[in-house]
Amino acid sequence: MSSEFSGTDDFLFVKAKKGYYEKPVGRPGNNYVAPKIDYEKKDEDGDWASKEFVTQVSDTASFLSKKELLVENEIFYVLSSSVLPNNPDIEKSLRKLSADVLSYLDSTHNRLLVIGNKEDLTDLVEQKIPKYVENTFHMLRPLNLKDHFALTLQNWQYGKKLVMISTLPNLPQEKNQQYLIEIKNFLINQGADVYNYEFLDELFVIANVDINILKKLIDSSTLVYKVFGLPEAITKKTAISKKLSVKPTIAEPSLFQFPKYDVNKLPIVVVLDTGISKIPQLDNLIVSRSSFINDNLDDEESGDGHGTPISYLVSLGEEHGNPTARIISHKIWSPNIIDRVFDGLMDGLNRFSTISKIFVSSINFKEPLDDELLTKINTKIQENNVCFISSAGNLPEREIVALIQNNQRHQSYFQNYPVASPSDAPIVTSVGAIAKKTSNQKSIRSVSNPNDISPFSRCAFRNRPLFDCKKPEVVEHGGNVNFDTTTGNLSTAGVGVTSVSKNGNVVDHLTGTSFAAPIFARKVAGILTKYQTKIKNAETLKAISIISSKKYSEHCSGFGEPQPIIGCDHDHALYFAEGEIKLEERKGRTIGITYHTIDFKVPGTAGYFDVCVVHSDNFKKTNVPSLNTYVRIDVNNWSTKSFLKPKIGDRDAKTNVKILRYYYDRKSMKNIWTLRITPKIIMSIIPSLQKDIIVRYGCAILLSRKSTKSSVYSISNEISQMELSGEND
């Protein structure tokens, strides 16, 4: 095992400096015609758009006049724009309608959910609708039942269901509470079973309710925005149970040891899983056990368990080493209750985000989560500034068998199996699996070679790529699968992940991305253990972890396998910086651009440096889990003012995790360098919404030597000598 990131040289913190400049907005020429957007019909629109615009407005006003409004004249409706989202006519038209955007309903930002005024809408029909309003919007319509019910509930025609009911998105907190209370009171009066959850009351009403009662509520009021079913989830331990007697032969997992710390000072990692059984190996390491779903706090997964071996891996790792984390177990799944994982995740995030910066869950949803629910998870993680680590999900055993029997190389079929929710949320760190061990018996073939992607691991986004983002983002040891060529059976014995079962026994046949996720969580916890409160942003933790990654393959392995990184050796030095930057903002005829700069010294013996910037933004006004912003990275040194292009990576790549490598082919890198981070919007939005967007980032810069014998001093040492001598200042 390489020790390049386990040296004694601490990481170097650099304070980012804020910069600002303004540039004039280009003015369109006289012949400029603003581009038009074609109307894209959706199921829920029906034939509404085929009406005259004035009829659409009057029909909407008349439809909404039949509803009882909680706040006088406060109504909600959908607009579909016919111009680009940043066209000033949108804001002008919204002002005319006295409407504000609550949320974008599509990834191109052409569909808007707005909050408006009933009287103003009626007045508009009675006066005359200005031409610019008609030219700006294809369609204006009220919300209908198709909008109100999630896809999975569209065919619900009779009977009761346990559902989550949400109010309109992005209402001010007090108003949201008022709406939720009204929904609750209505349902209680109608005899529905309404449940109270201390940590979910601000988000949803959870109730067991008859469809007719819900329809009555929706028809008579504007209280409800959307009704969701409770999505089912599975523990993604692979179902391969036949254990053939095979001994592992090649490539044991890393035996890196974290230093020993005072247990009480270890950071807490929240494990949202199947519960945890009390085993002696975890004595003093469990802070608390709670359950969202039942009164049994133990690990209820059959066999070796799930939450217990996962917690063991988070804290003690495969190497059974020194602990790096204490555990809070919050149970959200049991074999009998498989449909409370979404609200369990939200409950856990709300409940524990003040006590922990790292959350890990190896439970995935059976079907891709509804976009709005995934957005809610994404937003909650961003708001809470936590690092959420999730397993990428596994292929079912029968599919692996079929694929192997069809002689498909396992790398070729991954693209058909995208990562499972919640791993597909942009902010969630998705962990795929790689194999480390293989069988040595002739009749038993291990499907993957060491460091290859495991045969069950998933990759890529469902439906479409999310710009340049990767899923999974990292890979960790998740076990291999053996294929018995004589019987056709699959087994995992001896080639799995080593951990401790819920009965306290050491087991080495655990396979699945479920066990890869906690191995990554342990590495992140290792960083937090050492640097504690010096690191404020979850993005910084992720950037430091990812910059150490070793990439074994271009295929489905994201940025590769992160190394346990807590300090640097002789030939490496790591700077880190973090901050928050406001997105560029239009001010009259200029655009104000804010950026951060990070200055760092590079000694002459460093051959190159890698930069990893991870960011997220607080833009909430969208129902689509997409990437709203990216950061542009510019690098220059103090001698030459021109920017150096990265040799590897794209400085303008539209991704939330960016890795770039810089070096000169012939010249020395010795200099003071400045890295500039400038946030940018991806899909344009209304300028008044853009000014509130703040990008939070974490940045890691790793300096490396080309030759390991180029100095008797470590790079960190050389940097401090540069500082002492004032060299380059």
Residues that bind another protein (CB under 8 A): 196, 198, 278, 283-284, 286-291, 295, 297, 351-352, 354-355
Helices (H), 3-105: 53-65, 88-97
Contact status, residue 466 vs residue 651, Cβ threshold 8 Å? no
**Residue 656: strand, helix, or coil:** coil
Is the Cα dihedral 167, 173, 175, 180 positive or negative? positive
Contact status, residue 179 vs residue 76, Cβ threshold 8 Å? no
Minimum CB separation of residue 532 from another protein in Å reads 14
Q: In terms of Cα–Cα distance, which of 405, 490, 505 is closest to 454?
A: 490
Minimum CB separation of residue 290 from another protein in Å reads 4
Going by the DSSP 8-state scheme, the letter that residue 584 receives in this structure is: P
Q: Within a 10 A sphere around the Cβ of 351, how many other Cβ atoms?
A: 18
Minimum CB separation of residue 10 from another protein in Å reads 27
Contact status, residue 430 vs residue 516, Cβ threshold 8 Å? no
Q: In terms of Cα–Cα distance, which of 6, 84, 152, 105 is closest to 683?
A: 84
- Mention every residue, 6+ apart, whose C-beta is less than 8 A from residue 604: 668, 669, 670, 718
Spell out where 618-693 has E strands: 629-637, 657-662, 671-681
Name 55's bridge partners: none
Is the Cα dihedral 306, 310, 311, 312 positive or negative? positive
Render the burial of 568-605: b for 16+ CB within 10 Å, e for the rest.
Answer: bbbbbbbbbbbbbbbbbbeeeeebbbbbbbbebbbbeb
What CA dihedral angle connects 164, 168, 170 and 171, to 10 degrees? -110
| Between 84 and 286, CB nearer to another protein | 286
| Unique residue bearing structure tokens 């995790």 | 657
Look up residue 178 and give its two tokens.
Answer: 């008022």
Q: In terms of Cα–Cα distance, which of 334, 400, 390 is closest to 358?
A: 390
- How many residues can be counted in the chain? 729
d(CA 158, CA 156) in angstroms, rounded, equals: 6
Minimum CB separation of residue 351 from another protein in Å reads 6
Look up residue 515 and give its two tokens.
Answer: 């066990």
Minimum CB separation of residue 195 from another protein in Å reads 10
| Between 189 and 196, CB nearer to another protein | 196
Peptide bond into 472 cis (omega under 30): yes
Minimum CB separation of residue 284 from another protein in Å reads 6
Question: HSE-up of 135 (CA within 13 Å, CB side)?
Answer: 11
Contact status, residue 697 vs residue 677, Cβ threshold 8 Å? yes
Look up residue 115 and give its two tokens.
Answer: 């909050």
| Between 355 and 648, CB nearer to another protein | 355
Integer distance in angstroms from the first to the last C-alpha of the chain?
38
Q: Within a 10 A sphere around the Cβ of 77, how many other Cβ atoms?
A: 25
Look up residue 271 and give its two tokens.
Answer: 């494990």
